[in-house]
Amino acid sequence: MNYKNLGKTISRFLSWVALIICSLIIRFLPERGIYALANILANIVFFVAPRQRKIAFNSLSIAFGSNKPPRELRAIAKDCFRLIAKSGVEDFYFLNNRQLLKKRVSIENRRILEQALSRNKGVIIVSGHFGNFPLMMFRLKVEGYPVGGIMRPMRDKRTGKMFTKMIDESGVKNISSQPRKACVDTTIRALKNNEIVCIQLDQNFGTAGVFVNFLGQKAATATGPVVFALRTKAALIPCFIVRDKDDAQRIIFEPEFHLVHESEYNDTIMTNIQKLTDIIESYIRRYPAHWGWIHRRWKTRPKGNTR
- Predicted local confidence at residue 116, as pLDDT: 98
| Radius of gyration of the chain from its Cα atoms, rounded to whole angstroms | 19
User: Among the CATH numbers 3.40.1010, 1.10.10, 3.40.1130, 4.10.51, which is that of 3-290?
Assistant: 3.40.1130
Asked whether the beta carbons of 135 and 249 are under 8 A apart, the reply is yes
Q: What is the mean pLDDT of residues 185-193?
A: 98
Question: How does DSSP assign 161-223, residue by residue?
Answer: HHHHHHHHHHT-EEEES-SHHHHHHHHHHHHHTT-EEEEE--S--GGGSEEEEETTEEEEE--
Q: List residues bridging with 107 in a β-sheet.
A: 251
- Model's pTM, two decimal places? 0.93
pLDDT digits (tens, 9 = 90+) for 222-267: 999 999 999 999 999 999 999 999 999 999 999 999 999 999 999 9
- Report phi then psi at 196, rounded to 5: -100, 130
Q: Are strands 249-253 and 235-243 parallel, antiparallel or unpaired?
A: antiparallel
pLDDT tens digits for 23-78?
A: 788 888 888 899 999 999 999 999 988 999 999 999 999 999 878 999 999 999 99
Alpha-carbon gap, residue 1 to 9, rounded angstroms: 13
Of 93, 62, 91, give the one whose Cα is nearest residue 76.
62
